[in-house]
Amino acid sequence: MKTRRPRPGLAHRRRSKRMIGRRILKLVEIIFCVGVVGAFTYKFLEYAEGSTDFQVRNVEIYGLRYLNGHDVWKASGITATENILFFDSADVQARIEAMPYVRTCRVERNFPDTVKLIIREREPWATLMVNSRSYEIDDDGVVLRLYAPTEMPISPFFTEVGGLDFVEEGEVLEQPGLRSAMSLWRSFNASALGEELTVSELAVYDTDDIRMYCDELPYELRWGRGNFDRQVHRLDVLWEELDGVLGCSQYLDLRFDSDLVCM
């Protein structure tokens, strides 16, 4: 025996029609609002693109210590013909970050007519000697600039680095020997002994043959074979125990764990 499902009542059908009507009306309202906003946006952008009210009139540069503001502005490529709404901030950032001294650059728009450049510079950290030329480098191994012949480079000097015949400003140096010497310099500079001794030169003959020269010592310190933190700590302890009198005349070799070789 078949059973028939009750047919929807008149009231139910009317409610359904009202709900559909309200949904259609809501959709029409949304479409209308989107159209109005879109038309307004289009007209505004059309106005702004041709208006002189949004031309860049000021470029403010922050964070400079080593760089010249005029050089940064020139590198940015921003001119008075730029529109603050439409200029390519990513392109400006890339051009400025291509400068060797710039670690990062943030570009901000201050309406209606000002662009802010917030610069984080690289810090001069050491000097690299290549073919009798002196180059300023930072702690990432980036070549910042070539020293003028009349300038006094900062110490320490990294010398005798193999595989380096020529370097360019902005180049990132990846030579293993140099990287090892830089790691050693970080460890030594952060130690107690690093505050007492003045390191003038790190001669990098190999990753396992780095020779350090200090102004206060008549002998060289030889380093290599890895863990510089441990080697520096061992020298710190020995220096304190012997009150700095180690009895070496030519070199102190720290490369063989607890077996220190003093000649």
Question: Span 126-262: which CATH code?
Answer: 3.40.50.11690
In this prediction, residue 227 carries a pLDDT of 87
pLDDT above 70 as % of the chain: 82
- Note the pLDDT tens digit of each residue in 117-147: 999 999 999 999 999 999 999 999 999 999 9
Report the SS3 class of residue 203: strand
Q: How much of the chain is in helix, strand and coil states, percent to nearest 5?
A: 35, 25, 40
243 near 223, Cβ under 8 Å? Answer: no
Length of the chain: 263
Kindly report, residue by residue over 146-167, the tens digit of the pLDDT. Answer: 999 999 999 999 999 988 989 9
**Per residue in 199-236, is it b (16+ CB within 10 Å) or e — as a string?**
bebbbbbebebbbbbbeebebbbbbbeeebeebbeebb
Question: Which pLDDT score is estimated for 17?
Answer: 64
Helix (H/G/I), strand (E/B), else coil: 115:
strand
- The CATH architecture one would assign to domain 54-121 is Roll (3.10)
Residues of the chain with CATH 3.10.20.310: 54-121
Where do you find CATH 3.40.50.11690 in the chain?
126-262
CB 188 within 8 A of CB 234: no
Q: Is 9 helix (H, G, I), strand (E, B) or coil?
A: coil
